[in-house]
């Protein structure tokens, strides 16, 4: 019997049998406003957050039974889109996929909101390594080559990131602090524009999550010099972590999380998390995200909130100690 027919049978019997008893999949999407769901991506197209969102959005639309429309709102290292999302009505029509800058922006910038007050955590989607890569035309074969070149000529070697105050920027600052060398930060308005210039060789070094550079590493255009996981990672095989290269206890994984507007009904948050958990466990979605260079987490609201809180505190301390500001 078809699924609609089975549902009719349940209703016709007075609702005495629950769908769960018949093994039916849970129904998501009930109680949401009767219009397409906005998924704000506070970065331009082509970056890692946009890539991850476009992988899972079609399946999320299918699971929820309503259109999910991605809106790219780039600018200010993710802050522009986050500010817009913070002003959205808490009716379940607007959600936001954030990147690690959501934690660092809290200290780097003067924002009109606090993340855990303006938003409700829904799902920690995935984590992954950052990698420092060099263009194939450069002479750098290891990160030690970069350190040596920077010490020989301070403030002459440039490295790109997706924006000021993001984890790539803050973690590279910590690397410099640990080994006393100086390279010049070149911030871009998102990972998409940054990777274009890195691949073109317009900037010699690029600190980035692996999602947007994995294909260029495989092609040999970008040469990986180190990763920010505690040890080696399957996403960049054969490349040692910075901790393994003499940067004691260094670890800075990147991450992506789905947030809702503070005040949205708890039932909708639960439904959205349930839908996302189903989506992220789908073999096709999971496989595509992981082949990009990230590991699926699918953690729930409580775990997601605790993680965000710890990231805000951890990197806020590094930012204050190194006086990193939005104009640095």
pTM of the entire structure?
Answer: 0.84
Say whether both 222 and 260 belong to one domain: no
Say whether both 35 and 102 belong to one domain: yes
CATH, residue 96: 3.40.190.150
* Contact by Cβ (8 Å): 101, 163: yes
Look at residue 90 and tell me if it is in a domain: yes
**pLDDT tens, position by position, 17-41:** 333 333 334 568 788 999 999 999 9
Q: Is the pLDDT of residue 124 over 80?
A: yes
Look at residue 263 and tell me if it is in a domain: yes
What does the pLDDT read at residue 328?
Answer: 54
Say whether both 137 and 240 belong to one domain: yes
Phi, psi of 291 (to 5 degrees): -70, -15
Q: Considering the chain, what is the average pLDDT of its residues?
A: 90
Beta bridge partners of 161: 187
Q: And the tokens for 167? A: 């984890």
Band of residue 11 on the pLDDT scale cut at 50, 70, 90 = very low
Say whether both 95 and 117 belong to one domain: yes
**pLDDT tens, position by position, 175-188:** 999 999 999 999 99
What does the pLDDT read at residue 18?
Answer: 34
Say whether both 136 and 120 belong to one domain: no
The residue with tokens 């074969």 is 141
Say whether both 34 and 183 belong to one domain: no
DSSP string, 177-230: HHHT---EEEE-SSHHHHHHHHHHTSSSEEEEESTTTHHHHHTTSEEEEEESSS
CATH, residue 230: 3.40.190.10
What does the pLDDT read at residue 93?
Answer: 97
What does the pLDDT read at residue 17?
Answer: 33
Say whether both 314 and 214 belong to one domain: no
22/190 Cα distance (integer angstroms): 47
* Contact by Cβ (8 Å): 305, 121: yes
73/79 Cα distance (integer angstroms): 9
37/16 Cα distance (integer angstroms): 33
What does the pLDDT read at residue 24?
Answer: 39
Look at residue 143 and tell me if it is in a domain: yes
DSSP E strand stretches across 59-118: 68-72, 94-99
What does the pLDDT read at residue 14?
Answer: 35
* Structural domain harbouring 263: 30-127+254-321
What does the pLDDT read at residue 26?
Answer: 54
- Taking the alpha carbons at both ends of the chain, their separation in whole angstroms is 64
**pLDDT tens, position by position, 242-285:** 999 999 999 999 999 999 999 999 999 999 999 999 999 999 99
Say whether both 280 and 221 belong to one domain: no
Q: Is the pLDDT of residue 52 over 80?
A: yes
Going by the DSSP 8-state scheme, the letter that residue 246 receives in this structure is T
Q: Which residues contact 306 (CB under 8 A, 6 or more apart)?
A: none
Nearest to 202, CA basis, from 194, 213, 210: 194
Look at residue 18 and tell me if it is in a domain: no
What does the pLDDT read at residue 33?
Answer: 92
Say whether both 122 and 134 belong to one domain: no
Look at residue 186 and tell me if it is in a domain: yes
Say whether both 156 and 296 belong to one domain: no
Rounded-to-10 torsion of CA 115, 112, 163, 181: -80
Say whether both 220 and 153 belong to one domain: yes
């Amino acid at each position: 019997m078809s699924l609609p027919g089975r549902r009719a049978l349940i209703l016709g019997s007075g609702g005495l049998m629950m769908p769960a008893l018949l093994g039916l999949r849970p129904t998501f999407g009930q109680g949401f406003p009767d219009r397409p769901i906005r998924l704000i991506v506070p970065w331009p197209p082509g970056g890692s957050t946009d890539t991850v969102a476009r992988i899972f959005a079609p399946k999320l639309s299918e699971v929820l039974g309503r259109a999910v429309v991605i809106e790219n709102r780039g600018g200010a290292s993710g802050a522009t889109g986050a500010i817009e999302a913070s002003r959205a009505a808490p009716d379940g029509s607007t959600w936001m996929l954030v990147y690690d800058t959501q934690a660092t922006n809290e200290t780097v910038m003067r924002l009109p909101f606090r993340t855990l007050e303006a938003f409700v955590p829904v799902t920690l989607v995935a984590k992954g390594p950052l990698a420092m890569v060099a263009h194939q035309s450069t002479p750098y074969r290891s990160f030690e080559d970069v350190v040596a070149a920077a010490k020989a000529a301070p403030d002459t070697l440039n490295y790109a990131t997706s924006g000021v105050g993001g984890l790539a920027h803050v973690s590279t600052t910590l690397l410099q602090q640990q080994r006393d060398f100086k390279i010049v930060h070149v911030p871009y308005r998102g990972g998409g524009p940054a990777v274009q210039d890195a691949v073109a060789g317009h900037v010699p070094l690029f600190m980035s999550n692996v999602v947007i550079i994995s294909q260029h590493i495989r092609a040999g255009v970008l040469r990986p010099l180190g990763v920010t996981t505690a040890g080696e990672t399957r996403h960049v095989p054969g490349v040692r972590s910075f901790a393994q290269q003499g940067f004691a206890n260094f670890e800075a994984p990147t991450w992506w999380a789905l947030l809702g507007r503070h005040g949205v009904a708890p039932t909708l948050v639960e439904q959205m998390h349930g839908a996302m958990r189903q989506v992220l466990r789908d073999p096709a979605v999971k496989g595509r995200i992981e082949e990009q260079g990230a590991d699926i987490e699918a953690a729930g609201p409580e775990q997601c909130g605790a993680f965000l809180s710890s990231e805000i505190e951890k990197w806020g301390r590094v930012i204050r100690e190194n006086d990193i500001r939005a104009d640095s």
